[in-house]
Amino acid sequence: MADGVHSISHSISGELTEAGHRLLQRVYYEDTDFSGLVYHARYLHFLERGRTDYLRCLGVEQRELITADEEGLVFVVHRMEIDFKSPARMDDILTVTTRTEKAGGAKMVLTQEIRRDDTLLIAAKVIIAVINASGRPRRLPEGLAKQMMIEV
């Protein structure tokens, strides 16, 4: 601490923890509606950022997967279940956590939460389809499936 200024170091991509990936996000004016609460569709942005940075922290570069082999590999959201528990407001600091529940075959199942401090705001289950560059289902390579199931 210098001159009364606190310095907190966080990676822009979040961090891997025992509970899964953890990403901090601030709520900005653009995230809210006329009521001052976060607009429901904006939570999808926070969840997507959590999933993307989770993969990044695991060492998975999505843009490289499409050309990693002759077939190519792409992740797409197939299904999402979201429980809206409590609203977030402008300037809240949210914690987005992401964990792999299952990885294998042609899909992955991720669980995600958005919290403000200890208050659960959003609980989501996301089913990710694994497809090739042509849009057809393909198996998740075994090494990548193991990488997705890493426990810290």
Task: Give the span between the Cα atoms of 120 and 114, in whole angstroms.
Answer: 6
List of residues 6+ apart from 137 with CB closer than 8 A: 106, 129, 130, 131
Using CA atoms, how far residue 139 sits from 52, 58, 80, in Å, is: 20, 19, 20
33 is catalytic: yes
Coil, helix or strand at residue 112: strand
Instruction: Check: CB of residue 13 under 8 Å from CB of residue 55.
Output: no
Q: Which two tokens stand for residue 71?
A: 């077939």
Which run of H or E residues covers position 152? none
Spot the catalytic one: 3, 31, 33, 69: 33
Handedness of CA 152, 19, 23, 82 (dihedral sign): positive
Which residues are designated catalytic?
33
